[in-house]
């Protein structure tokens, strides 16, 4: 049974006319499954509060089973004609399709988003940890840093997501072309493509984190250094937090 994301991708593949053989095979399978699995529910109530007869329930069950079987045969044919019979290849193509359409959040984007959320939460935690006369200042500083991470991070995530969707469309197009050529070593091809995507995504999302934290660090350094050392403070802050972003991107990637 295809997941919602997989079915959404399958619906984008070319369809072919249902043959008489398809219908006969689906009907035979539906008859077999109905005979084996159907159970009458004497408590099932239909319209007007009347119980649904066993014959009616059986007909509905058989029809639903027939529809599912026919759809499964059509999906299998679509996968076969697209060169995606292998489950691993099909999962990769489905994920690419979901990312390209914006319906699926990639694992790398999710890790980047969660990293930014954790960093913002950490800034708030540091601000709340202070005591004494400086506690109010620390609290304001922590909240300001958290808001900066959220604001800049949100903008960067949005921009990066657009780029990622465009890249995924290109990757999916190339992937489908390769699938249709039916290269002999599909498993090797899948490993090569998965490796290439992994390496590209690590660098891409690591740069996103670096850019966000570099921008936040620059802003924090500017205000912390005061008028006299604003430029130096901004550069130092951007360099330190930018490096943290790249390291975090590599770790989570």
pLDDT at 213 over 80: no
Residue 186 or residue 102, greater confidence = 102
Mean pLDDT of 84-98: 87
- Provide the residue ranges of all domains of the chain, joining segments of one domain with +: 4-81, 107-252
DSSP, collapsed to helix, strand or coil, labels residue 19 as coil
pLDDT at 65 over 90: yes
Interatomic CA distance for residues 231 and 227, integer angstroms: 9
DSSP, collapsed to helix, strand or coil, labels residue 45 as strand
- What pLDDT, on a 0 to 100 scale, did the predictor assign at position 1? 66
pLDDT at 43 over 80: no
């Amino acid at each position: 049974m295809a997941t919602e994301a997989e079915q959404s991708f399958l619906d984008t593949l070319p369809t072919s006319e249902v043959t008489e053989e398809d219908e006969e095979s689906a009907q035979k399978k539906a008859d077999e499954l109905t005979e084996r699995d159907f159970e009458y529910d004497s408590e099932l109530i239909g319209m007007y509060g009347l119980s649904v007869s066993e014959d009616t329930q059986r007909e509905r069950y058989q029809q639903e089973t027939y529809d599912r079987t026919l759809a499964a045969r059509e999906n299998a044919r679509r996968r076969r004609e697209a060169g995606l019979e292998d489950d691993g290849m099909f999962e990769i193509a489905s994920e690419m399709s979901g990312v390209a359409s914006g319906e699926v959040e990639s694992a790398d984007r999710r890790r980047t988003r969660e990293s930014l959320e954790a960093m913002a939460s950490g800034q708030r935690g540091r601000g709340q940890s202070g005591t004494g006369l400086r506690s109010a200042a620390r609290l304001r500083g922590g909240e300001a840093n958290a808001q900066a991470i959220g604001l800049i991070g949100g903008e960067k995530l949005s921009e990066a997501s657009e780029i990622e969707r465009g890249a995924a469309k290109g990757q999916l197009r190339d992937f489908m072309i390769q699938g249709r050529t039916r290269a002999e070593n599909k498993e090797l091809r899948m490993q090569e493509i998965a490796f290439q995507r992994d390496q590209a995504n690590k660098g891409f999302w690591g740069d996103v984190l670096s850019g966000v934290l570099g921008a936040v660090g620059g802003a924090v350094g500017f205000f912390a250094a005061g008028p006299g050392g604003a430029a130096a403070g901004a550069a130092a802050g951007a360099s330190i937090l930018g490096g943290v972003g790249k390291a975090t991107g590599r770790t989570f990637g």
